[in-house]
Amino acid sequence: MKRWWRGTFGLVAAVAFGFSLATLAIGVVAFETTHEALELQLDHRIAIETQALIDEGQDGPDGIAAAIRRREAASSTASLGYLLVDAAGEPLAGTLDTIVPAKPGYVELLPYRADGQERIAQSLTTALPEGHRLLVAADRAAIDEMDNSFIKLFLGAFGTMLLLGITAAWVVGIVTRRRLARIDHTASAIIAGDLSRRVPLSGSGDEFDGVAETLNLMLDRIGGLMENLRQVSSDVAHDLRTPLTRLQNRLDEALREPDGDLQRGAIEAAAAEATELLEVFSALLRIAEVEGMAARAHFQTVDLSTVVTDMAEAYRPSMEASGHEVVTDIALGVTMPGDRRLLQQMITNLLDNAVQHTPEGTVVRISLGCADDSIRLAVSDNGPGVASGQIDALFNRFTRADGSRSTPGHGLGLALVAAVVAAHGGKAKISSGTGFSVDIGF
């Protein structure tokens, strides 16, 4: 129960209790205001009645006494009582059973007797000539009844609001705990190794569903990274076994070779194998770095038109020397947030792929433009292409088409392209028929 107010039940209960206290405070203010207004109204009534008696009895105490007797005989002043006394305190008129205060003025709580019961009145004592005193009083029973009704009403409202608040806190606490329990169960299952679990949605579209959708996207991302890690581990173990075996054989050959020149040749061959392995590991690390999305923190506005144009012109001499024709269709002023170096590496890999895996006479087309509020980049050729069954796997690491196994490379170029495109929030797809094309949308 420590820090219970930090839980859902505690927070809602605290808010409900606060509203209840506010209601109680409003009730107290309203009670005091109403009570004071009723007393003032009663004082005003008593004062008017006192002045009326004095005005009627202009000839002195005898006239006032006569006016009192007329009122009591007519019973026209319900709840009002009168008492006129002389200087010695002896009653001259009026049936009010009480003691007239010696000091003139208002008395809020004046005890008196009526029908054999002790009661309380609100009174005004007025000094008259020759030491006479006039007391006019009104019973406070109506005010007390209204006070009691008012107190009961607001105590009932306070209790009802407090009860509803606690009930609401209990209901909200149950609902919240149940919704959070789904997230907790999913997290526990994932901790136990079930990475396929996702937080269930209620379909209401509320805040919990919003959090669940975000968590599911995060879990999808983690699942994708874990799958990439598993794939990399498997690919490294499978695809690097052959070059490592060749390296080991070269070194064994160098150790066994007595001839110095032959031994040096074997060592140089082993060094070349090691260099190739380092290049492979560098490419793998580069792909992992890009897939980690760390580059997004350094994105700036890049003039993609300039980048593509510069890369195309840089490759044009070597591609024409190898018998390839370069055709460009690049729209001007295409910009996007991104990493210039990564975008250059992406285009480099696409152009290298086109040069290495197509014969002389192949036309390589580079196009860039905007359509439907998106950027479209494509590098295509009219070469032999690849079999349709191999297209889906070409973005995976160490995957090579059957027709390119005799050419240099390790099957990591398109994997890096896919990683760069994903890091920039885009999608890449491969199409092949009479040629080969990589289409990218940002």
Lowest mean pLDDT among 41-45, 61-65, 155-159, 438-442: 155-159
How many residues can be counted in the chain?
442
Closest Cα partner for 419 from 299, 285, 271? 285
Q: What is the pLDDT of residues 170-217, one digit of tens each?
A: 787 788 888 888 888 888 888 887 878 888 888 877 777 888 888 888
pLDDT of residue 335: 93
d(CA 412, CA 435): 21
d(CA 121, CA 98): 10
Lowest mean pLDDT among 147-151, 403-407, 420-424, 427-431: 403-407
Q: What is the dihedral of CA 63, 65, 68, 70, to 10 degrees?
A: -70
Arithmetic mean of pLDDT, 162-175: 79
- Here the tokens at position 94 are 């009026």
Arithmetic mean of pLDDT, 250-265: 77
CA–chain centroid gap for 302, Å, is 33
- Of residues 51 and 291, the one with the higher pLDDT is 51
d(CA 217, CA 203): 16
Of 17-26, 38-47, 66-75, 270-279, which has the strongest mean pLDDT? 38-47
pLDDT of residue 391: 78
94: left (phi over 0), alpha (psi -120 to 50) or beta: left
Of 90-94, 203-207, 280-284, which has the strongest mean pLDDT? 90-94
pLDDT of residue 1: 43
* Segment (H or E) for 279: helix 260-291
d(CA 304, CA 442): 11
Q: What is the pLDDT of residues 95-127, one digit of tens each?
A: 888 998 988 999 988 998 888 888 899 899 999
**pLDDT of 152 strictly over 90:** no
d(CA 35, CA 43): 12
Lowest mean pLDDT among 1-5, 36-40, 282-286, 297-301: 1-5
Contacts of 269 (CB under 8 A, 6+ apart): 250
- Of residues 202 and 346, the one with the higher pLDDT is 346
Arithmetic mean of pLDDT, 146-156: 84
Lowest mean pLDDT among 183-187, 191-195, 245-249, 429-433: 245-249
* Environment class of 117 (CB within 10 Å of its CB; exposed 0-12, middle 13-18, buried 19+): exposed
Q: Are 246 and 254 in contact (CB under 8 A)?
A: no
Cα four-point dihedral sign 140, 142, 146, 152: positive
**pLDDT of 361 strictly over 70:** yes
- Here the tokens at position 272 are 């070349």
Closest Cα partner for 397 from 419, 381, 423? 419
- Of residues 421 and 164, the one with the higher pLDDT is 421
pLDDT of residue 379: 92
Contacts of 12 (CB under 8 A, 6+ apart): 165, 168, 169, 172, 173
Q: What is the mean pLDDT of the chain?
A: 82
* Segment (H or E) for 414: helix 413-423
